[in-house]
Amino acid sequence: MSKVDILQKQSSFLETPSEVEFPNNSVLAELCGVGDMHLHKLEDKLGIQISRRGNILSFSGHSKSRVDAVIILNKIYTYLEEGRSIDFNDLDSITEVMLRGNSSKLELLYKEAKESQSIPETFAIKTKKKLIEPRNINQKNFILNILNYDLAFGTGPAGTGKTYISIALAVSMFLKGQIDRIVLTRPAVEAGEKLGFLPGDIKEKIDPYMQPLYDALDDFLPARQISKMIEDKRIEILPLAFMRGRTLSDSFIILDEGQNATSNQMKMFLTRLGKNSKAVVTGDLTQIDLPNGIQSGLTEAAVILKKIREIGFTQFTARDVMRHKLVEKIITAYDET
């Protein structure tokens, strides 16, 4: 990777635009964002111009701002190359840290977040494709609950990382040989009685409802390995109704969209837990799609099981949303109505 010596380059920044070459095009593409939106955001923040030509970024504008931009982008590139993930909110935070004059603290966002929330490096989740780290205190607590309890609940708005973290931990434990199987399930509530009218066999009918789980797996494992593990029944992705009658040992079991499970379905799922297994239930209690008059099994379970010490509960809020900052404001606006 190209390392820029800022001290040597500063004098040339005063005269001509600087250029930095990044050898890994796929990492650079992630660095720049879709449609170079990350670069545009940085341009707006620093009042400079950044142009991309192949794997070279060119900078023009005020010299100090160009130096800041090079430091910021090199640091983000380093994290991405190590397998860490950066999103649009991270870019805002990194830039703010830099603009506050903390350029000597090159850990920037990650170091600041860990120091302020006491999130140690040991919370990093290693998978084949990415290194996942908690971004806030609730994500850290959720990881702790999953590691320390055989049954953990994570509730809160979409975009807080509940399912993503759960699947990352499942993959990590599988790669370490701590479990033999990953079981991912969701209630296919939207399908209902219309399922029979959809084309194809049962797998083709159900897969659209399971797609978010496939998407998360794809972030952590190579496609060939996912296919092989599914073929060998090391990964199972199935509707909640198909869990009935099973006992799952040596497994990591995740019930996603748990708010759409009925009371009977939730009880059925929770009693599938076998020896040396972990179960995680995630859901958003403000997004229940069950027909009127049918109580959410997740709502009921949160009340019935809250006194059992061997179960971990994590409640996420709009402040924990890791998507675009506008998502947090949208969720808060709906909560206030």
Domain count, the chain: 2
Domain, as residue range, for 28: 6-115
pLDDT tops 70 at residue 195: no
Q: Where are the beta strands (DSSP E) in the chain?
A: 18-21, 49-53, 56-60, 125-126, 131-132, 151-155, 181-186, 235-239, 251-255, 278-283, 311-315
In sequence order, which residues have a C-beta less than 8 Å from that of residue 68 and are 6 or more positions away? 46, 98, 99, 103
Judgement on whether residues 278 and 298 belong to the same structural domain of the protein: yes
Compute, in degrees rounded to 10, the torsion defined by CA atoms 211, 213, 217, 223: -30
**Is residue 125 packed enough to be buried (19+ CB in 10 Å), middle (13-18) or exposed (0-12)?**
buried
Residue 252 within any structural domain of the chain = yes
d(CA 242, CA 245): 9
Tell me the C-alpha to C-alpha distance, in Å, between residue 90 and each of 45, 108, 113, 148: 13, 10, 11, 29
- Domain with residue 54: its CATH number is 3.30.1370.10
Last residue of a domain, one of 115, 133, 167: 115
d(CA 158, CA 142): 15
d(CA 235, CA 64): 51
Judgement on whether residues 64 and 132 belong to the same structural domain of the protein: no
The pLDDT tens digits for 142-175 are 998 999 999 999 999 988 999 999 999 999 999 9
- Domain with residue 165: its CATH number is 3.40.50.300
The pLDDT tens digits for 253-308 are 999 999 999 999 999 999 999 999 999 999 999 889 888 889 999 999 999 998 89
Last residue of a domain, one of 58, 82, 115: 115
- Give percent above pLDDT 90 in the chain: 35
Residue 1 within any structural domain of the chain = no
